Structure 1
Amino acid sequence: MTGGRLQRELKKKKPFASPEQEALLNLMRTSDQLQNRFGRLFRQFGLTASQYNVLRILRGEGKPMPCLEIAERMIQVVPAITGLIDRLEKQSMVSRRRSTEDRRVVFVEITKKARAVLKKMDGPVGDLHKQLMGHLTRAELKELSRLLEKARE
């Protein structure tokens, strides 16, 4: 069988219909593999990728944030941010309070417990970043980011 690596990995007999299709499928396969690896790590700490993302956003902001602003900053679009926050609140990872100025606005704050969990996760997450992408040079990583940003335009 000739063709590129993805064609061999998928045991695809015919070539891809277009270079765009091959690139997109390569991107999807890579994304799936990376998400699986991170998913396993997050599960060890009782979190999903989306929950981890919410906690990182809150820790980075350093102050309570409105739910909708958290949703806008998420890496992956989450249709039910309220449900996600509900689950984090049940785990005592966040607390909520209504705005005194506008009762429709709900502020979410990270808890000490969540900060402690994130602190424990920082090393393993950084290690996984290096494990998964460390074989690429700095220039390759910069170019990869540039190309991915261009693809999202």
Structure 2
Amino acid sequence: MTSRLGRELKKKGAFESLEQEVMLNLFRSSDQFENRFGRLFRVHGLTASQYNILRILRGEGKPLPSLEVAERMIRVVPAITGLIDRLEKAGLVTRHRCEKDRRVVYVAITEKATTLLAELDAPVLDLHEELLGHLSRAELKELDRLLEKARSVLSEASAAG
């Protein structure tokens, strides 16, 4: 019997392994969720990565070095400077160099960005509910636990080598 993912992908044969099927299911789910959030953010002139930067800065409540912002991102982005450039041009962040170490650039959220995030707070929570609200609290906790467990092999590998 073909799995739902197999039918969605119109796969002719079985997956080569259960691990492959689960990984592809994660990729497909992630892609579809990201597309939904991307549409919401685009309406407000943002990308998901830009939104993530603004949330990090709002949550910290003070300017952060740009490299620290990059470390806290949900998705690793190679061009944090370009993202911050676009946010600065839009008036959503400001930057200033550290006086003690000119290589360090601090990024601060603006009032305009704080207002924009406040406008997005309810729609983002609504979208979380729309996409995952059909799962029980126990299922959500189990999914969270399993995703963290699956990802733990990556942190263990980077710590070892």
In structure 2, C-alpha distance between the alignment counterparts of 1:107 and 1:6, rounded to whole Å = 44
**Partner SS for 1:77:** coil
Give the aligned partner of residue 103 of structure 1.
102
Structure 2 SS opposite 1:123:
helix
Structure 2 match to 1:112:
111
Taking the aligned partners of 1:103 and 1:13, their CA distance within structure 2 comes to 58
SS at match of 2:83: helix
Q: What secondary structure, in the 3-state scheme, does the structure 1 residue paired with 2:106 have?
A: strand
In structure 2, the residue matched to 1:48 is 47
Equivalent residue for 1:66? 65
User: SS where residue 62 of structure 2 aligns?
Assistant: coil
Q: 1 CA distance for matches of 2:10 and 2:66?
A: 44
SS in structure 2 at match of 1:108: strand
Q: Give how far 1:52 is off.
A: 0.1
SS of the equivalent of 1:95 reads strand
Separation of aligned partners in 2, 1:13 and 1:82: 44
Task: Map 1:71-86 to 2 at 5 A.
Answer: 71-86=70-85
Identity %: 70
The amino acid of 1:23's aligned partner reads: V
Aligned length: 152
Which residue pairs with 2:37 in the alignment? Answer: 38
Displaced runs of 4+ in structure 1, greater than 2 A?
none
**Distance in 1 between the 2:83 and 2:28 partners?**
26
Deviation digits for residues 4-40 of structure 1, max 9, x if unmatched?
Answer: 1101111111010000000000000000000000000
For residue 11 of structure 1, give the secondary structure of its aligned residue in structure 2: coil
Residue by residue, what CA displacement relative to the aligned partner does 1:35-92 show, whole Å, maximum 9, x if unpaired? Answer: 0000000001000000000000000000000000000000000001001100000000
CA distance in 1, matches of 2:20, 2:95: 44
Match of 1:137, as an amino acid?
S
Does 2:4 match 1:5? Answer: yes
Which consecutive unaligned segments of at least 5 residues does structure 1 have?
none
Two-structure CA RMSD over aligned residues (Å)? 0.5
Structure 2 residue runs of 5 or longer lacking an equivalent are 153-161
Aligned-partner residue type, residue 83 of structure 2: L
Counterpart Cα distance in 2 of 1:59 and 1:110: 7
TM-score normalized by the length of structure 1: 0.98
